[in-house]
Structure 1
Amino acid sequence: MIRTIAVLATTCLALTSCGDDSSNKSDDDPTNTESSGATDPGKMDSDSANSGKTKRAAREVVESYEETFYSGDFTATCALLTPAYQKATIKDAEEFSDKPPEDCEAAMKIGAEFAKSFGYDPTSAKITEIKIKGDRATVLELNEEPFEDTLYSLTWDGSQWLVADDKSVTIN
């Protein structure tokens, strides 16, 4: 989301998600990893390292990310980002502030203030596609015009999905 701050003038941040997923398996199906090396479902249990690698878990991370961002809980927002993306967020936010942010939370605050100035309604966004391949996932979120759609990249850290990047995209 913070990478999106750099292009907020034309995109604004993508937010609160609900929507249909076009796959045949449900989001909460632990075998629904769309990974060529998916764990044998007969051997998976709740303690399995892959048990949270579901479309539902990926969706929930994006939804939580957006919810915490727009509610102003920037500590929680930053906890959902990879360390590299937290650093990128700080760098991106420097372009929008007289005083460079000292940490991810301060960068998120700058981004939220900027996003609010565009009148974006996060409830209008809709997740339409989630793909998982190994330790990577993408979540596509469609937004109403004039805002561009957002493609979130997630990384599996061994126990949960974390937002690694987001980019504005145009879906035809």
Structure 2
Amino acid sequence: MRENIRINRIRGLGHFLRNLHADTRWPEDDSARPDDPRLRGSSLVPPSASNFADFLEPRIRPLVLAVVGSWACTTFSSCEGHPARGHIPASAATVGILPLDCHELARTTVLVERFRRNTVNAFIAAGIDTVICEVDFATVESAAGSFPTVEVWFVPDAHSAPRWARYFEQLDQAIDEALGCLQ
């Protein structure tokens, strides 16, 4: 478990929270969508939106949908991971979970820690040697207040070289193995 506590600022969190259980189609923001997803603002889309899956990047989509379904939790961010491009560094795959109360935070903490331990064994058994699963606790702040978050990261092993090239070679397999670790 990572001990790094970060604070992120999120715009639109109040609107997101007010619409958590609205089973409606979420409007897509078509404004300025650069090729690289890391350069565009992401919409906060509640998992209850009928088009929630449309907002998820393809590589991470099955895992996010499984986390929401299996753990009955709310995700607020995800990224499928992206190789370096020009002046933009590589980024790791992640799923961010927004526990809605202290009980859900406790339950989610237990689930993600079990998940992390299970991925270690699954990755070893599958021969995945450059991707590791880490859990990070952070806080998001917005006009709606401050909220704890739990983030699951699939990061390159610091001991593998060249790190990012091999990481992206094994990332799809790692995410497939991680799907089998959900409980």
TM (norm. structure 1) is 0.23
TM-score relative to the length of structure 2: 0.22
Structure number with the bigger relative contact order (C-alpha 8 A, sep ≥ 6) is 1
